[in-house]
Amino acid sequence: MHDALDRLRTEAVATAASTVVHVLPDEGPQGRPVSLIEGFIPLLVNFTDEDKAAKGLRVFADGAPPPVPQHFSAVEMVRDHALLLLTGESGAGKTSFARQLAWQIASGENAPRMIVRNEAGDTAPEMFDIQNLVPLVIDAQAGLTLETLIERRLPGLCTLLDSDTWCDGDAGLLLIVDGIDALQAAGPQMIDAVRQFQATTPHVRALLLGDSRIVRDWPLPADLPRYELLPLLASQRRAGAPEMPVNLLSSLTANPALFGARMEIQPQTEPDSEQALADAWAGGVARQLGIDPMVVTRHALAYVTGDGFEQNDTILQRLQTLGLRFSTLLAANELHLHPPAEAVALYRENPQAFEPLIQNLARRLLASGRPIAPLIEPLLSGPDDMPFHGALLAAEFLEQAPELRQHVLPLLLSVVEEGRLSAYRRERAARTLSYFGDPRDLQGLADIPGGTFTFGSATHPNSAPAHPVTVEAFRLGRYPVVNADYARFIAETGRSWKSPEAHDPERRNAPATDLTWHDANAYCAWLTLRWRAEGRIEPHDVVRLPTEPEWERAARGDQPDAGDQTIVYPWGAQFQPDACNSEEAGFNRTVAVGLFPKGRSPYGCFDMAGEVWEWTTTLWGNDMTTPSFTYPYAMDGREDPDAGPRIRRVLRGGCFSSGKLKACTTYRGSLEPDGYWRGNGFRVAVSQHSP
């Protein structure tokens, strides 16, 4: 047993020492290779201390702005989850992270180290304090089972892990499965196999790594923890290469692969695009090897497409070091010399795999003054969902090729409204619609009938008991109030709004957030006058926040309480991961409204589970954990609009970081009226009177 584990430790250390992450150009004609141990920059994920605290809806006292959030590191996510999926864009450093983490564990380098946490340069210690753990890194391969991959990596290990010696011992195994995106449609089966292996094998932890562009299209288990690797912050790059020129800190080098490539070319070079950076790198390699740069690009095209022509091992190794994202930039330089039909044929063969290649080719064509319509238009037709995938690919180029808009934008609208493709791709479509003008009526109102319905639930003490409540008919926003509409209010009133996304053209159709209860009420008062003047509502109608019962009526309809084990969602009693933007969706941020049509409420309201916590008029009390105003609901002062500033107001629906236990129709959250963060917003109600 000890011999096998020692072998894994030794190999992990040797692999990290021999892995080159970039080549410094200033020491000899071939440059100086920088190993993973020396050149690795700790990676951060899309989860912050603010996100963690706000699961309990942290308060920012006296209306003060929140501190700059500090991101958790990928190492800490592995430490805190026995099973974890980490994704990242191509070139995000997933494989380097796997090897560096294996080295860190195998070499015993577990002392805390200070790492950069945000763009402000704040630092905090990172610690991986799990003792007696052994790393095993395997690469996913199509057609091979998990057990086969493990046995190929270390024969006899599966038998060892099934033995009493292992079960009774104190050693643990971290299984790292890299490159699950390479499995394409078989990826979910590998995830299931790893989950089963981790759950049934004692002392085993597991980490899955994959390209977010591929993995996000898969149906993922709702209870699988997953986070995304962030691009390198400028503060991280500055800390990782303090002697390098300032131009290394541009957004061009936020991708770790591009950062590594940039460090390989001469410091005085200042490429202004990813394509220019790739060309400069290819030129440098060509000079080192005494060959034509086009030889390098031909190798890149062969590497990306899997062409089996005889390749120069030195060029291939350099390309493999930087990965597919970088190689695709070079491959497009070669492909743009070929007829567009060749690229179209590649794409139709495997749209997911070759989408980045076609996008880079279109950029090359535009840079050279050539039209892209012959490349793009054939992608907007075909069987099944092919036109919708093609429209997403084309979305980036609608400014440079406006003639494509009449074909592309209707397809993107269908993606969003009909819930086509994955949530990740719907979000991409919605960003383009936002930029060019989302045609949906995002201020639309749903008619909510009056009547008596079941209010509350036995699934949480603060929501119990379930009991009948009667509400009058009213109207409620089909969507949460979005950035574009709240921005008009700000422009007219001059009210302060600290949201970093307030005027992002790709986020106009996302919920307005970072809003206090007072902000929401002020908007409602402004909108009342505006809509009356426009004739959208009657002169006696009032725009306001919904009461807590009104909100729940609109969310659940006539669904009854089904006991303390059954949570009620807007769509029914069974949780569906593709019905809401909850923690299970994996975004960890707001997305455009209406992206989850499967999750519509019985009366046609979108996003009433997840997305953003929504303000109501109803009071909670002073204590964050226990409401002063309990159920049954009564007119006992809980609808007092003039309650003091320390009396918390009820929030409903959960948000993007809420799990399925909270992102539902009955769970009650609360926040002080001056509190705000990026996970809470509101929607409007319309009736003939105030509550």
Per-residue pLDDT band for 287 (boundaries 50, 70, 90) equals confident
Per residue in 479-524, pLDDT tens?
999 999 999 999 999 999 989 899 999 999 999 999 999 999 999 9
Residue-wise over 184-201: b if at least 16 C-beta within 10 A, else e? Answer: eeebeebbeebbebbeeb
Structure confidence at residue 572 (pLDDT) = 96
Residue-wise over 620-637: b if at least 16 C-beta within 10 A, else e? Answer: bbeebeebebbbebeeee
CATH class in words for 445-687: alpha beta
Q: What percent of the chain has pLDDT over 90?
A: 75
Strand segments, DSSP code E, in 511-586 are: 542-544
Mean pLDDT of 180-188: 93
Q: What percent of the chain has pLDDT over 70?
A: 95
Per-residue pLDDT band for 604 (boundaries 50, 70, 90) equals very high
Nearest to residue 26, comparing CAs of 313, 248, 284, 292? 284
Bridge partners (DSSP) of residue 455 are 467
Look over the chain and give the mean of its residue pLDDT values, rounded to a whole number: 91
Per-residue pLDDT band for 25 (boundaries 50, 70, 90) equals low
Amino acid identity of residue 310, one-letter, is: E
Q: In this model, does residue 603 exceed pLDDT 80? A: yes
Per residue in 96-114, pLDDT tens?
999 999 999 999 887 899 9
Q: In this model, does residue 30 exceed pLDDT 60? A: no
Structure confidence at residue 245 (pLDDT) = 64
Identify the H or E element spanning 467. Answer: strand 467-471
Structure confidence at residue 542 (pLDDT) = 97
Query: Which residues lie below 8 Å from residue 143, measured CB to CB, with a gap of 6+?
Result: none
Structure confidence at residue 57 (pLDDT) = 56
Lowest mean pLDDT among 62-76, 126-140, 203-217, 220-234: 62-76
Query: What's the whole-model pTM score?
Result: 0.89
Q: Residue 186 to residues 144, 193, 198, 211, 549: CA-CA distances in angstroms?
A: 10, 11, 19, 14, 45
Per residue in 194-249, pLDDT tens?
999 999 999 999 999 999 999 999 989 888 999 999 999 988 888 777 666 666 66
Domain boundaries, the chain: 2-44+74-228, 264-436, 445-687
Per-residue pLDDT band for 307 (boundaries 50, 70, 90) equals confident
Yes or no: domain 2-44+74-228 corresponds to CATH 3.40.50:
yes
Q: In this model, does residue 1 exceed pLDDT 90? A: no
Query: Is 445-687 the same fold as 2-44+74-228?
Result: no
